[in-house]
Amino acid sequence: MSNTTPTTVSVAPTNNMDLKSPRAGFKLNYPKQDYRGGLAGNFDNTSEAQNVDIVRKYPWTSSNTNREDIPYIQLTEFRNDESMLKRQAMFYGQGAFDTLTGVIGGTLPENNGGSPMQRGQLAVYDEIWSSDNPTGWSYTLPYFSKTQYEINTPTWEKVDGIGQAMSDATGGAADIATKMGGERLASLIKGTTAAANAVAAGAELALKGVSPLVGVVDRPRIFTQHSERSVTIQFPLYNTFNARDWKWNKEFYYVFATQNLFNKRDFVTGLPPVWYRVLVPGQYFSHASCVTNFNVENLGNVRTIQDDNGVLCVVPDAYQISITLTEMLMPSVNQFQALINGDARSRVTVRTT
């Protein structure tokens, strides 16, 4: 591997494949223990971290040339390095500040880069899934899918009964007023709510008492959410083209599995798995997804081989890799339009040397 300093750029795979050279381009370094006795940081930000280019450099197909038009998916890896309480405080604090600023017609301080719209259409997600802590790893994987685009939206939810809907709305307002020191305002809101509930209850009773009607069936509905989407990436890794193939293939999935496992550090604490920004150029973008399934299947004949460290490994003729990534943010116009204006590509970067 070159000793030059890695740089982070946003590029498509280049035609630099040499199947006679090591496909992975990195040497596997086993994680070391930290002072607590657990594993320290997994493979995060090691000198070997880079883009793992399965499309160009790995034996997933017998074709040694003409891989430039292969559809691919890119993953950039991040890890949360903050506690849940700290992240929640930052998220809700920033949200309240942005909302209040918009209501009063002000502007955000210059050191915040302006309003969310001025910072870009994906900036509204930065306090939810921050890119402050990249692990240094990224992946370019073959991606073949019959689905070009998909949105799943559950049926809009019916508004509750008249009394319940008014009670929920005004009750929330009263709680806010109380917490802000407005006891008299809170009392007024609650009194108004009680009167409104009595009227609403009487109206509902009257409607139900008119024969042969059955009451309020068709109600107003409100949008709640789009369902999160999942993408599944599948490809083989052959171990029989060259003698070294199985070692590079094994080390790829070893690193990927390690990064996506919970890392227990002591009796109480541990490190969470990583998460990814995901891009299929011109087709799909997710600001934050997690691996919900990672499966490595043995294909063909299976034998036992000793690796360079003297460890016996079960090696088949080929590994069948399957990775499912599920979105942790609801699909939105922000993420969809980012595919068109190039904002998505600037958020999914690969490391080169």
Distance spanning both ends of the chain, measured CA to CA:
9
262: left (phi over 0), alpha (psi -120 to 50) or beta: beta
Given 171, 203, 222, which residue is the final one in a domain?
222
Residues 137 and 283 in one domain: yes
Q: Both tokens of residue 219?
A: 């109600």
- Those residues of the chain that have pLDDT short of 70 are 1-42, 46-49, 82-119, 160-216, 351-353
CA distance linking residue 144 with residue 201, whole number of Å: 56
* DSSP string for residues in 106-128: ----GGGTSSHHHH-TTGGGTTT
Domain that holds residue 141: 13-81+133-153+229-352
Q: Both tokens of residue 179?
A: 């917490």
* Predicted pLDDT at 132: 82
Buried b (16+ CB within 10 A) or exposed e, 45-78: ebebbbbbbbbbbbbbeeeeeebeebebbbbbbb
Residues 140 and 166 in one domain: no
Q: Both tokens of residue 288?
A: 């934050």
Residues 237 and 179 in one domain: no
Asked, for residue 108, whether it belongs to a domain, the answer is no
Asked, for residue 3, whether it belongs to a domain, the answer is no
215: left (phi over 0), alpha (psi -120 to 50) or beta: left
Asked, for residue 345, whether it belongs to a domain, the answer is yes
Residues 257 and 337 in one domain: yes
Supply the Cα-derived Rg of the chain in whole angstroms.
27
Asked, for residue 119, whether it belongs to a domain, the answer is no
Given 222, 242, 273, which residue is the final one in a domain?
222
Residues 241 and 284 in one domain: yes
* Predicted pLDDT at 277: 96
202-239 pLDDT, tens digit per residue, is 666 665 666 666 666 777 888 989 999 999 999 999 99
Domain count, the chain: 2
pTM of the model: 0.73
Question: 264: Cβ–Cβ under 8 A, 6 or more apart, which residues?
Answer: 38, 270
* Predicted pLDDT at 75: 96
Q: Note if the bond before 31 is cis, omega within 30 degrees.
A: no
